[in-house]
A and B are shown apart, each in its own frame.
Chain A
C-alpha cells in the first residue's frame, strides 16, 4: 500500500532520512538494459485462456509435488482450513495478488503483449499485470513482491520467463501449495499451432520442495473475447 497520505508522511520522514533514501534509490534505479529477441522468433501477442484454470498443480507425470516435511505441514494446514470452509486463509480472499504461477491458472482471460521492448501479461482478474523486460538474469537482490522480478528470453522458438524475488504471501495454486522467499519460477511457452500454447512452469524452492518440479498447462487463443473491468475490492466485502 502506497497511499498518498503515506507518501506525505514519508516526505516528512525523508526530510530526516533523505540521505539514506537517495542512496537506496540510486542503487535500485540503474538504467535498464534492453536485450531483444532475435528476428524470426514467434510472437505470442493475443488473448488467451488456460484450459486448466483453478484446481491444484501436479507434476508433469501426474504425481504430487515433492513437498518437504515443512511443506507438507503447511499444505495440510491450508487444506484442512479450506475443507472446514475457512476461505479467509486464502490470500486472494482479501484481494491480494495471486502470485506466480497461480495467476496463470485464474479462470479469467488475459492478454500477452509481446513487443521489442518487453512482454506483458495483462490479466482480467483484478486488472493484474506483469511487465517483463528481455534479458536472462533477473536481479536476485530485488525487493520481494507478489509477482516476483522477471526477465524473458527466447530459447529457440520457446519463450522463457525466469522469476525470482517473490514474497511468501501467495499460494502456488488454488489448493494452497506453499512456497517461501527462496522460490524461483521458470515459465516456458511454445506455440504448438497458431491457436495453442504448450506451457510449463518449473518450481524450485528448497525450503518447501525436495527437488525442482514441473507442471504443464495449455493456453487457447480467444480472439472474440474482450477483457472486462474486474475490481476485486468492489465485488468482495473487505
Chain B
C-alpha cells in the first residue's frame, strides 16, 4: 500500500510535469524559460542521485547486486531511434509482419472500445519477457555461483539467469518467463531468453509474440552526469512470425540504494481478473 501510494504520487508528478512541458500551466519555479527548466531538472536529478546513492552501488562494473528501479512507466516498447519521436513516428518503425499488424490493430481497437484483451498479469500469471522489464516496480539482482537471480517486486516474478554456459536442458518446458542463459561480453551482461509460451504480450499496449520469440538483453552499468548509477538494457526482440527483422528497444534502471523490495500480492483481491478474455474493472 505504501509503495503504491508512493508510485501514484510519482506518476502524478510525472504526469503534471509532462502536462506543463506540453503547454499546460508553467511550473512556478521554472518560469517557462527553457534554461531555467533545464536547471531545475538538473537540480532534481542531482538530488535524486544523492538520495539513491545513500547506500552506494557496487563499484565492480560486473556487479549489479542490489535494487534498481526504472523511472515512470512506458507501456510500449519501440525501436531505439536516433532522435526524439512522436508516438506515431515511433510505432511506424516497428518491423511488423502482416500478422502482427492485424493483431496490433485488434488490440488497439479492443482497448478503444473499452474491452481490452486480458494480458497475462491481469490473471496473476508471470508478465513474460520483455513485458516484465517495463514494469514500474523495483527489481533486485542477487548473485550466486553460476546464477543471477532477478527478484521483481511486481507480482513476485522471479527470473533465474543461468551462467553455467550450457544450453537449456533438453526437457526445458515452454513457460511465461522462458529459460534465460547469461554470459559476459566485457562488462556487458548478455541474457538470451527463449522457451516461451505464447500467452504473454511484448508490451502492455498492443504488441504480441509467438512460440519463436527470442529476447536478447545487453545490460551495461554506467554513471550518469549527476553521479547516479544506471543499468542500460538494450532489448533485442526476434520472432519471425510477428516481426520481419530483429529490433531493439531500450530501458534504463537507476540504482536505488534507498529502498528494499516490498511484498506484492497479486492474488489478493484481484480486481482485474478477466471475464471471457476481456479485462474488466471491478
Interface residues of A (CB under 8 A from B): 1-8, 10-11, 13-15, 18, 21-22, 24-25, 28-29, 31-32, 34, 45, 94-97, 111, 113, 115, 117-118, 120, 122, 126-129, 131, 133, 143, 145-147, 169, 226-229, 231-234, 238
Minimal Cβ-Cβ distance residue in A for B148: A113
Which 4 A-B residue pairings sit nearest by Cβ, starting from the closest? A10-B8, A229-B175, A31-B54, A25-B6
Taken residue by residue from 187 to 226, chain B's Cβ proximity to chain A (1 for < 8 Å, 0 otherwise) reads as: 0000000000000000010000000000000000000000
What residues of A have a CB within 8 angstroms of the CB of B260 in the complex?
32, 131, 133
Closest residue of A by beta carbon distance from B175: A229
> Counting CB contacts under 8 A, is B130 at the interface?
no
Smallest Cβ distance from B153 to chain A, in angstroms?
9
Knowing that A45-B144, A96-B265, A115-B143 are A-B contacts, what are 11 other residue pairs whose CB atoms are under 8 Å apart, sorted by A's residue number? A1-B265, A11-B8, A21-B9, A31-B54, A122-B158, A127-B156, A127-B157, A147-B263, A227-B160, A231-B125, A232-B124
Quick check: A95 and B142 within 8 Å, CB to CB?
no
Q: Does B229 contact A (CB under 8 A)?
A: no
Q: Give Cα A11–Cα B14 distance, bound, in whole angstroms.
A: 10
Closest residue of A by beta carbon distance from B159:
A127
The answer to whether A11 and B270 touch across the interface, beta carbons within 8 angstroms, is no
Contact of A1 with B266 at beta-carbon distance under 8 Å, contacts A29-B6, A128-B156, A131-B151 already known = yes
Q: Which of A14, A95, A122, A228 contacts B151 (CB 8 A)?
A: A122
- Chain A's nearest CB lies how many Å from the CB of B95? 27
Q: Which residues of chain B are near A118, meaning CB under 8 Å?
A: 142
B176 and A24 contact, CB distance less than 8 A = no
Give Cα A232 to B121, complex, Å.
13
Beta-carbon contact of B12 and A115 below 8 Å? no
**Considering only CB atoms, which chain A residue lies closest to B7 in the complex?**
A7
Q: Give CA–CA (A129, B184) in the complex, Å.
A: 26
Check: B239 CB closer than 8 A to any chain A CB.
no
Chain B residues with CB under 8 Å of chain A are: 1-9, 11-12, 15, 54-55, 65-66, 73, 121-126, 136, 140, 142-145, 147, 149, 151, 156-158, 160, 169, 173, 175-177, 204, 257-261, 263-273, 281
Residues of chain A within 8 A (CB-CB) of B269 are: 1
Is the Cβ of B12 less than 8 Å from the Cβ of A113?
no
Q: How far is the CB of B124 from chain A (nearest CB, A)?
A: 4
Given contacts A18-B9, A113-B142, A145-B263, contact A2 B4 (CB under 8 A): yes
- B160 to chain A minimum Cβ distance, whole angstroms, is 7
Choose among B125, B136, B160 the residue that contacts A233 (Cβ–Cβ < 8 A).
Answer: B125
Partner of A143, one of B1, B173, B257: B1
**Which B residues lie within 8 Å of A45 (CB)?**
144-145
Contact A232–B267 (Cβ < 8 Å)? yes
Contact status of A10 and B4, CB under 8 A, knowing A25-B9, A131-B140, A229-B177 = yes
Q: Inside 8 A of B175's CB, which chain A residues have their CB?
A: 229
Given known A-B contacts A28-B2, A115-B144, A117-B66, A127 and B267 have beta carbons under 8 A apart: no
Chain A residues, Cβ within 8 Å of B4: 2, 6-7, 10
Question: Which residues from chain B contact A127 at a C-beta distance below 8 Å?
Answer: 126, 156-158
Query: What is the minimal beta-carbon distance from B262 to any residue of chain A, in angstroms?
Result: 8
Q: Is the CB of A120 within 8 A of B151?
A: yes
Q: How far is the CB of A203 from chain B (nearest CB, A)?
A: 20
A128 to B264, CA, bound (A): 10
A126 to B267, CA, bound (A): 10
Residues B273 and A131 in contact, CB atoms below 8 Å apart: no
Give A112's nearest chain B residue, CB to CB.
Answer: B144
The reply to whether B12 and A117 form a contact with Cβ atoms under 8 Å apart is no
Q: Smallest distance from the beta carbon of B192 to chain A beta carbons, Å?
A: 17
CA distance A24 to B8 in the complex (A): 13
11 A-B residue pairs with Cβ-Cβ distance under 8 Å, sorted by A, are A1-B271, A4-B204, A10-B4, A10-B5, A14-B9, A45-B145, A96-B267, A97-B265, A120-B151, A231-B125, A231-B176
